[in-house]
Amino acid sequence: MPPHDAAILAAAERIRTAHETNQPTPPVRDQLPPGDVAAAYAVQKVNTDHWLDARRRLVGRKIGLTSKVVQKQLGVDSPDFGMLFADMALADGEDVALGRVMQPKVEAEVALVMERDLAVPDPTLTELISAVAYAVPAIEIVGSRIANWDIKLVDTIADNASSGLFVLGTTPVGLAGLDLRLAGMVMERRGDQVSIGAGAACLGNPLNAALWLARTMVRVGSPLRAGDIVMTGALGPMVTVVPGDVIEVRIGGLGSVRTAFSA
């Protein structure tokens, strides 16, 4: 048993309590060995196992820290991942109470849905593409259980990669002939452009992010399975939302998706 087990359990409990009571917690990084990514993922896994025991259903993964700008802000050169549970999924355009996510912000992303398991060691890009059923445009409503988003890498990893809720578009598009790298992205709030980007902003190509995730998931013994949703990462800057906001995202070649916030 690693010596820091108690610290990991304590950090996990703090985040879980914040989640359940809707009261943010100070950063957990001081509780963990400095910069210890493995310990941070161990914290995340404690809570994932807890929630799976509580009958939350795992439906996919999210990839975070896929933009060069955000990586620079946090001083990291690698993305991270978190778990997507079924109860985090919203319908296209569905009203969501702002309080459902702590300190919410929205990001526009490409979501992939797996057609087949991808469990071989070090899957290749072609194996990934062959295993993907389709892509849809998506909005991720990220949130942080850490007070004031005062996060370092270990905080966000421990906090399930700052995941909150997600919304998927409803018109699946196959990857054949789809140029995700140069897919344009525009996010609008009442017709105002609040975030603009393209596929290239996500690790150079959303498929690069998905491949990183697929390989990482095999390595940690939790490979992507048929039906899994993969939120590949933001295509432009994240945006803070307030009650009353309706956010629409359009992604070139993929169509559009919306989410609405009530008080």
Partner 1 sequence: MTDIQKLAGTVDNAAREARAIAQLSTGTTLTLAQAYAIQKASIGLRLARGERRVGVKMGFTNRAKAVQMGVHDIVCGRLTDSMVIEDGGTVDFARYVHPRIEPEVAFLLKAPLEGSVTPAQALAAVEAIAPAMELIDSRYENFKFSLEDVVADNASSSGFVVGPWHRPDVDFSNLGIVLSFDGRPVQIGSSAAILGHPLRSLVAAARMSTAGGERLEAGWIVMAGSATTAEPLQRGLFVQTEIQTLGRVAFTVGT
Under 8 Å CB-to-CB from 244, ≥6 apart: which residues?
261, 262, 263
CB-neighbour burial class of residue 45 (10 A; exposed 0-12, middle 13-18, buried 19+): middle
Give 82 or 169: the residue with its C-beta nearer to partner 1.
169
Please tell me the distance from the alpha carbon of residue 131 to that of residue 120, in angstroms, as a whole number: 11
* Number of residues this chain uses to bind partner 1 (CB under 8 A): 20
Tell me the window of 45-53, 109-117, 150-158, 188-196 that interacts with partner 1 (CB under 8 A).
188-196
Backbone angles phi, psi at 196, to 5 degrees: -135, 145
With CB under 8 A as the contact rule, the residue among 251, 257, 258, 259 that binds partner 1 is: 251
Structure tokens at 34: 């400095």
Please tell me the distance from the alpha carbon of residue 152 to that of residue 146, in angstroms, as a whole number: 10
With CB under 8 A as the contact rule, the residue among 35, 99, 174, 204 that binds partner 1 is: 204
With CB under 8 A as the contact rule, the residue among 4, 116, 225, 250 that binds partner 1 is: 250
Under the criterion CB under 8 A, does residue 116 sit at the interface with partner 1? no
Contact 165, 90 (CB under 8 A): yes
Give 107 or 155: the residue with its C-beta nearer to partner 1.
107
Can you state the angle between helices 37-53 and 5-21, rounded to 10 degrees?
Answer: 50
Question: To the nearest whole angstrom, how small is the minimum distance from the Cβ of residue 133 to partner 1?
Answer: 23
Under 8 Å CB-to-CB from 32, ≥6 apart: which residues?
4, 7, 8, 11, 39, 40, 43, 154, 158
Give 66 or 160: the residue with its C-beta nearer to partner 1.
66
Could you give the angle at the alpha carbon of 216 between the alpha carbons of 64 and 32, nearest 5°?
65
Could you give the angle at the alpha carbon of 41 between the alpha carbons of 198 and 231, nearest 5°?
25
Under the criterion CB under 8 A, does residue 246 sit at the interface with partner 1? no
Contact 93, 248 (CB under 8 A): no
Tell me the window of 29-37, 124-132, 211-219, 248-256 that interacts with partner 1 (CB under 8 A).
248-256
Under the criterion CB under 8 A, does residue 32 sit at the interface with partner 1? no
With CB under 8 A as the contact rule, the residue among 26, 33, 172, 184 that binds partner 1 is: 184
Question: To the nearest whole angstrom, how small is the minimum distance from the Cβ of residue 135 to partner 1?
Answer: 14
Give 217 or 234: the residue with its C-beta nearer to partner 1.
234
Give 35 or 204: the residue with its C-beta nearer to partner 1.
204
- Which residues sit at the interface with partner 1, rule CB under 8 A? 179, 181-186, 191, 193, 196-201, 204, 250-253
